Amino acid sequence: MTDQRFIHSQWSSRLAFILAASGSAIGLGNIWKFPYLAGDNGGGAFVMIYLLCVAAIGIPIMIAETLLGRCGRRSPINTMRALADEAKASRIWGYVGWLGVVSGFLILSYYSVIAGWSMAYIFKIGGGFLSHASSEVAQQVFLDLKAAPDVQVIWHTAFMAATLFIVSRGVSDGIERATRIMMPGLFVMLILLDGYALSSEGFGQGVSFLFKPDFARLSGESVLTAMGQAFFSLGLGMGSIMMYGSYLPVQVSISRATLAVASADTLVALLAGIAIFPVVFANHLAPTLGPGLIFETLPIAFGQMPAGRLFGTVFFILVFFAALTSAIALIEPTIAFLSENLGFNRTRASVWSGIACWFIGLGTVFSFNAWAEVSWFGKNFFELVDFLTADIMLPLGGILMALFAGWIMERTLTEAELGRNRAYPLWRILVRYVAPVAVAVIFLRAIGVL
């Protein structure tokens, strides 16, 4: 294998890494998925387990994954192989990279469909179709979109094309510039929505739903969902952060940079939840609307606030960009692998993976209409892909990375990467024992063994 150390480019600064990694972490997972999962799983207790998973499992694994990337400096598959060679361990570890490539690919297939919905909403709100909408009108507009596979396919195609266009042109430049403007913009819009929520009569009820834990409502599967969401939202377990870590200059502190990213990600998810649930309760809607939650509730809020049409349009444009920066991270390991191992250039790699991913995404489009009744293990196509990736493959990939960093790599190597300080022994205990055991227990509880 050739040494790629000098082939990859590097981030221009610590901030550039933080912005790109936040771009990967902050996406539909925070704004679309977190609120509806919290709604479906009873609120407060779910949120609390989620926060625990971020702190005890997510952050240590994020540090481990970034570290692997910076040590390996290749695509995830080749990084894992090279590091395994270096540690005189089996090359089987390369399959962790494979697992990641497949999961990123599958996630992007449905991610693109949902991002397509938010593109459709830019025009629905911008065109004034939802101004002063009652909750009935807002729900009907969403149901109509859900029932129309052709419209969804058009937006899915547009989103996929935009993603692969950017990816084909190379990572650092475009992403750096886009996230620098979009991320703060998204933040400001969420604060604005929270301001609106604060003045709404549902505020108290919404906030207590989100933060008051009622553990009686929490099933084993809900705990698994909360953990899966921690992996999904932080963008862990499949090599995205490993890729970004591989562009990280050696002098940057990994633990401090990842901590900043994880905090920003969590804050955005909570701000989104605080914006949405007061609207749910003020309009006597159910929190259990599922994947349609933000699309059925936020337009009501925008419909009522001053200049809501403008703010609503800007909001969904920003959601689109947040999704775009995450989509790029989801597909990047596949592109890097195709170019490093099969000699594809970036354009060719983008075109082929884009077409394949687009095709699988059709299954998700149909799971909201024509195939709505088709189910495997009680889940439709979208739910199945989501479950397999977020709840199984990401935690598995993440744990294998943690075990690799904690048990296989030389201690001297990881200590040199992270720096000799008081946090190092804590991190080591977390990746060696706490995170693997926690994930195992959660898996076993979900399938009813514990």
Long-range contacts, stretch 182-187, CB < 8 angstroms, 24+ apart: 182/23, 182/318, 182/321, 182/322, 182/325, 183/19, 183/22, 183/23, 183/26, 183/322, 185/314, 185/318, 186/26, 186/268, 186/318, 186/319, 186/321, 186/322, 187/268, 187/271
Cβ distance to ligand TRP smaller for residue 54 or 238: 238
43 in contact with ligand TRP (CB under 6 A): no
Residue pair 386/37 in contact by the 8 Å Cβ criterion: no
69 in contact with ligand TRP (CB under 6 A): no
Nearest to 81 by CA among 340, 329, 331, 332: 340
Cβ distance to ligand TRP smaller for residue 99 or 122: 99
CB atoms inside a 10 Å sphere around CB 219: 12
Report, in Å, the least distance between residue 231 CB and ligand TRP: 6
Give the span between the Cα atoms of 282 and 225, in whole angstroms. 27
Report, in Å, the least distance between residue 281 CB and ligand TRP: 25
CB atoms inside a 10 Å sphere around CB 204: 11
Among 330, 365, 401, 430, binds ligand TRP (CB under 6 A): 330
Q: How many residues bind ligand TRP (CB under 6 A)?
A: 17
Count H helices, E strands: the chain?
22, 0
Among 35, 76, 235, 303, binds ligand TRP (CB under 6 A): 235
25 in contact with ligand TRP (CB under 6 A): yes
Q: Which stretch binds ligand TRP (CB under 6 A): 27-35, 81-89, 188-196, 373-381?
A: 27-35
Among 29, 245, 278, 287, binds ligand TRP (CB under 6 A): 29
Report, in Å, the least distance between residue 29 CB and ligand TRP: 2
Binding to ligand TRP by CB under 6 A, coded x per residue (else -) over 382-421, reads: ------------x---------------------------
Binding to ligand TRP by CB under 6 A, coded x per residue (else -) over 95-114, reads: ---------x--x-------
Query: What is the C-alpha end-to-end distance of the chain, expressed in Å?
Result: 45
Nearest to 386 by CA among 107, 156, 114, 160: 107
Binding site for ligand TRP (CB under 6 A): 24-25, 27-30, 104, 107, 232-233, 235, 238, 240, 326, 329-330, 394
